[in-house]
Amino acid sequence: MRSFCLIRSSSVQMTEITPNIPGAESLISWFGRWPSFHDAEIITLCIDRERKPSSIRIRAFTLSDRTDSDGRFIRERDALVVFEFTGITLLRIEGEDADTQNVISSLLIEPTTEGYRLILGPSYGMAGEIIVKDLKVRLEPSSRL
């Protein structure tokens, strides 16, 4: 299974590339490639109009090809990925039991004429989209997991 961020071009065709946002290199360095965010968990979503920037913290990981004693794939390269953004022009979040767990099926980043669209694919809990003017990403120290 290959991991990547899908960037949708104006022709609606999916392309396998790393998003052109500040901090993307740090994720590639840690994970070995851009993570897929499949089964990643949204830990916090903070909309802050006073202190800026707003942020979404997502616990992401890679899976090895090894399994544990229960037959589950072993997680590797566990990290908190923080997307920071300003200039929210659209926020559409939905889901059930959002204060319990928020697992996403994917994270899609689309460049727009005014910035970026983040699409959080539904799995369980929170999902939706956020359109922003500015976007950057960073890893948060692993001691906070």
Q: What is the pLDDT of residues 76-108, one digit of tens each?
A: 888 999 999 999 999 999 988 888 889 999 999
Phi, psi of 28 (to 5 degrees): -65, -40
Number of structural domains in the chain: 1
Question: 128-138 pLDDT, tens per residue?
Answer: 999 999 999 99
DSSP 51: T
Q: Which residues of 61-94 are buried (b: 16+ CB within 10 A; e: fewer)?
A: bbbeeeeeeeeeeeeeeebbbbbbbeeeeeeebe
127 has pLDDT over 90: yes
Ranges of beta strands (E only) in 1-112 are 6-8, 14-16, 40-46, 54-67, 73-86, 90-94, 103-111
| Rounded-to-integer distance, Cα 140 and Cα 145, Å | 9
Domain presence at residue 92: yes
Q: What is the DSSP letter of 25?
A: H
Cα end-to-end distance, the chain, whole Å: 25
Q: Which domain holds residue 130?
A: 6-144
Q: How many angstroms separate the CA atoms of 61 and 78, rounded?
A: 4
Q: Does any domain span residue 1? A: no
Query: 70 in a domain, yes or no?
Result: yes
pLDDT, tens digit (0-9, with 9 covering 90-100), for 44-65: 999 988 878 999 999 998 877 8
Tell me if 14 is assigned to some domain.
Answer: yes
Tell me the whole-structure pTM to 2 decimals. 0.82
